[in-house]
Amino acid sequence: MVRATNAPHRRRRRKKVLQRAKGFRGARKNLYRVARNAAFKARQHAYADRRRRRRILRRLWITRINAAVRPFDLPYNRFMCGLKKAGVNLNRKMLAETAARSPGAFRSLVEVARSTLNES
């Protein structure tokens, strides 16, 4: 009886890992044992960084909105409070885009927020 080996599957498994590690530096791209760890870590970082990117973008939007409302003598927190009280449901991404692309529309949002703050 012929001795069965795991060679085909083993080769495919190693090729898959080395393919995933393509473009890495040094031994991480062509030595299986090192590449396996590097690819595993790379996937962990990719997963975590997809979540980190959302946090970074939110900070960027807040900074842009704050920079856009400061010329109107209004800080970011008072502006957002005024919009919330006025019932304007725009997320920070849309507010930042509006501030950058259409200053006239953003000015009207600032006026809405300011008038709502003055009423209460």
Chain segment 10-39, per-residue pLDDT in tens: 999 999 999 999 999 999 999 999 999 999
Judge whether 27 lies within some domain: yes
**Nearest-10 Cα torsion for 9, 12, 14, 19:** -160
Please report the pLDDT score of residue 119 as a whole number.
83
The pTM for the full model equals: 0.77
Q: What is the CATH number of the domain that holds 103?
A: 1.10.1900.20
- In total, how many domains does the chain have? 1
Q: What is the pLDDT of residue 116?
A: 94
pLDDT of amino acid 3: 87
Residue 96, in any domain of the structure: yes
Give the pLDDT band (50/70/90) at residue 100.
Answer: very high
Residue 1 within any structural domain of the chain = no
What angle in degrees, to the nearest 10, is found between the helix axes of 92-101 and 103-119? 120
Mean pLDDT computed over 90-95 = 96
- Domain that residue 19 falls in: 9-119
Q: Is residue 4 part of a domain?
A: no
